[in-house]
Structure 1
Amino acid sequence: METRQLQYFVVLAEELHFSRAAKRLCISQPPLSIAIKQLESTLDAQLFERNSRGVRLTHAGRHLLAQARDILERTRRAAVDTRAVAQGMAGSLRLGFVGSSMYRGLPEALERMRLLYPEVRVDLHELNSIDQVAALQSGKIDLGLMHTMAPPPGMSAQTMVSEAFIACLPAAHRLAHQARIPVAELADERMILFSEAVSPDYFRVIRSMCQRAGFDPELRHEVRHWLSVLSLVAAGQGVSLVPACLERAGMQGLAFRPIAGKTPLSVLQAMWRPLPAHPLVPILLDHLQSVAGRQRPARAKPAR
C-alpha cells in the first residue's frame, strides 16, 4: 500500500467521480483507475461500488477513508518536522554546561533560542568539564560548555569567553578595600580551589599563578562547583582566585578585586562532535558568541 494510492483513494472518495478526481489530481483517468484497482487488490477488499448511476464507497471504503486521511496527515507532518529538524528549526539539543556558564551569557542565549525557535527543546545537564568530555564521547550530550581542555580526537572546540581571574575575598577581609591585589599578598591565606580531578586545567592555572608569585597555595578545600567556592569564601573559610564573571552571581558577604599585574585568562569553551553534524549546534553557538561579544572584554593578557 503506497502513499500515492492512498492519496488517489481519498480524492476519489471525496469526489465520487473518476473524471473529477483525476482532474483534481492532475492526472488522466486510466492511472487513477489502475491505482484504485491495485489498492483493492493489495487490501483484498472492494472499496468502491461502480454502476451506471456513479461511484460510492463500500463499507470497507468508509472504514479506510478515516485511516487513510490520518496516515496522509501523519506522513505530511513527518516530512515537515524532518525538514525543520534538518534546518535547525525544530528538534532537541542536549547541552552540558559548567556553572560559570550561567554568568557568561548562557541564559540569554537560551532565551533567544526559545523566542526564535519555539519548536526547539534544549535539555540542560550540569556537568564538570571531565564528565562533559566523557558524555560527548559516549553520545549522551551534543554540545558541552566547559573550562579550557584540549579536545580529544574527533572533537571540535571553540573559545566562547575569555576573561581575567580576580581575587575573591570575604567582605571583611583585610585586603577587601585595596584597588588591586598582588597574588603574593595571598601567600599566607588558606586557598579554596576547584578540584584537580574535576578541572585539571583550572587547578593548574591557579596553582601556577601562586607559584609564580613565590608560594604554593595552602589548599583548604577542593570543590566541584564555583558557587561552592563562593559560599565557602563568604563563610570565611578562605580566599580564592575566580573568573571575573562570578562577580555577577550577586552573593552576599564577598569582595571581588582585580589582580595586580598580568594574569592568565579564564576561558569558557564549547566542544562538540562534528560528525555526525547536529544542525542545532551552530545555531546555539552563534547565539552564545553574540551574547559573549557584548560582554566587557578581559583586560588581562594570556600568561606566557
Structure 2
Amino acid sequence: MELRHLRYFSVLAEELHFGRAARRLSISQPPLSVAIRQLEESVGARLFERNSKEVRLTHAGEALRISARRLLLQAEEAALEARDVAAGSAGRLRIGFVGAMLYRGLPQALRAFQARHPAVRITLAELNSGVQIAELLHDRLDLGFVHTSRMPPELQHRLLLSEPFVCCLPAGHALARKRVLAPADLRSQPFVLFSREASPDYHERILSICADAGFLPEVRHEVRHWLAVVSLVSQGMGVALVPQAMRHSALRGAVFRPLDRAVAQSEAHGVWRSGPPNVLVERLLQGVAESLAAEARSQA
C-alpha cells in the first residue's frame, strides 16, 4: 500500500466517479483504475461497487475512507514539519551551558531567538564543560557552551568570547579598598577555586596566573560552579579569580577588582557535532555571538 494509492482512493471516495476523480488527480482514468485494483489487492477486500450507472463504497471502503483521510493528513503534517525543520522555523534544540553564560548574554540571546522562532522547542541543562562534551558525543545535546577548546575530532567549536579574570573579594576585605590588584597581592590569601574535575582548563589557568606571580594559592575550597565560587567569597570563605562576567552575579557581600596586568583569559566556546549543518544551531550560535559582542562593547 502506497500513499499514492490512498490519495487516489480518497479522491475517488469523494467523487464516486472515475472520470471526475481522474481529472482532479490530473491523470487519465486507466491509471486510476489500476491503482484502485492494486489497493484492493493489497487490502484483500473490494472497496467499491461499480457498474455502468454508479460507483459506491463498500462497507470495507467506508472504513478505509476514514483511516485513509487520517493517514494522508499525518503524512502531510510530517512533510510540513520536515520542511519547517529544514528551513529553521521549527524543531527542537537541546542546549548545555556553563553557569557563567547566564551572565554573558545567553538568556537575552535565547529570548530573542525564541521570539523569532516560536515553534522551536528549547531545553536547557547547566552542565560543566566535560559533561557537555560527553552529552554531545552521545547525541543528547545539540549545542553546548563550554570553557575549553580541547575537543574530540567528532565535535566542532567556535570561540565566542575571551575576557579577563578579575579578583573576587569579600566586601569587608582589606584588599577591597584597592581599585586595582596585582596577582601577587593574593599570595597569602585562602582561595576558593573552580574544581579541576569540573573544568581542568579553568583550574589550570588560575593556577598559572598565581604561578606567574610567584606563588601557589592556598586552596581552601573547590566547587563546581562559578556562582558557588562567588557565593563562598561573599560569605568570607576566601578570595577567588573569576571571569569578568561574574561581576553581573550581583551577590551581596562580594566585590570585584580588575588585575593590573594581562593574564590568561577566560574563554567561552560554542560546540556542536560535526556533520550536516543544523540551521537552528547555526542561527542560535550567531545570535549568542552577537549578544556577547554587544555585551563586550558595553563594557569597553
* Global fold match (TM > 0.5): yes
Tell me the amino acid that sits aligned with residue 251 of structure 1.
L
Q: Report the CA distance between 1:160 and its aligned residue.
A: 1.1
Question: Superposition RMSD on alpha carbons, in Å?
Answer: 1.8
Determine if the alignment matches structure 1 residue 228 to structure 2 residue 237.
Answer: no
Give deviations 1:60-95, integer Å, cap 9, x for gaps. 111111100001011111111122223332222222
CA distance in 1, matches of 2:25, 2:299: 67
Per-residue Cα deviation, 1:219-238 (whole angstroms, up to 9, x for no partner): 11111011110110010000
After superposing the two structures, state which structure 1 stretch, 237-246 or 91-100, moved more: 91-100
Instruction: Give the distance between the partners of 1:268 and 1:258, measured in 2 at CA.
Output: 19
AA partner of residue 178 (structure 1)? K
Task: Report the equivalent of 2:257.
Answer: 257
Q: 2:170 matched to which residue of 1?
A: 170
* Distance of aligned partners of 1:55 and 1:152 in 2 relative to their CA distance in 1, 3 Å threshold: same
Moved over 6 A (4+): none
Q: Name the counterpart of 1:130.
A: 130
TM-score (norm 2): 0.94
Q: Distance in 2 between matches of 1:159 and 1:134?
A: 19
2:28 maps to amino acid: S
- Aligned-partner Cα distance in 1 for 2:189–2:251: 21
Q: How far apart are 1:278 and its partner, in Å?
A: 3.6
For the residues of structure 1 that align with 2:212 and 2:291, how far apart are their CA atoms? 34
Q: Which residue of 1 is the match for residue 179 of structure 2? A: 179
- Of 157-166 and 127-136, deviating more is 127-136
Gaps of 5+ in 1: none
The aligned amino acid for 2:105 is G
Deviates more, 1:7-16 or 1:135-144: 135-144
Distance change (3 Å), C-alpha of 1:6 and 1:52: same
1:123 match: secondary structure: strand
1:110 aligns with 2:110: yes
Distance 1:121 1:157 in 2: 23
What are the residue-to-residue correspondences of 1:20-59 with 2, within 5 Å? 20-59=20-59
The 5 A counterparts of 1:34-113 are 34-113=34-113
Evaluate the alpha carbon distance shift between residue 243 and residue 297 of structure 1 in structure 2; reply closer, same or farther with a 3 A threshold: farther
Q: Is the 8 A contact 1:97 1:124 kept in 2?
A: yes
Aligned to 1:205: 205
Question: 2:121 corresponds to which letter in structure 1?
Answer: R
Greater percentage in helix: 2
Task: Give a deviation string over 1:214-266, Cα, whole Å, max 9, x none.
Answer: 21111111110111101100100001111111111111111111111212211
Identical residues among aligned pairs (%):
49
1:192 — aligned with what?
192
Deviations 1:69-124 (A, max 9, x none): 00101111111112222333222222221100111121112212221222222222
Residue 286 (structure 1) aligns with: 286
The number of residue pairs the alignment matches comes to: 300
Task: Give the whole-Å Cα distance in 1 for the aligned partners of 2:282 and 2:66.
Answer: 41
> Which residue does the alignment assign to 1:149?
149
Asked if structure 2 preserves the Cα contact closer than 8 Å seen for 1:164 and 1:299, the reply is no
Q: Contact (CA 8 Å) 1:164, 1:298: kept in 2 or not?
A: no
State the one-letter code of the partner of 2:153: P
Shift of 1:276: 5.1
Structure 2: which 5+ residue stretches go unaligned? none
Residue of structure 2 equivalent to 1:217: 217
CA deviation after TM superposition for structure 1 residue 17, in Å: 1.5
Q: Are the equivalent residues in 2 in contact too, given 1:95–1:144 (CA < 8 A)? A: yes
Equivalent position SS for 1:294: helix
Looking at structure 1, the residues matched to 113 and 232 of structure 2 have their Cα atoms a distance apart, in angstroms, of: 34
SS at match of 2:185: helix
Whether contact under 8 Å (1:17, 1:55) holds in the other structure is yes
Q: SS state of the match for residue 157, structure 2?
A: strand
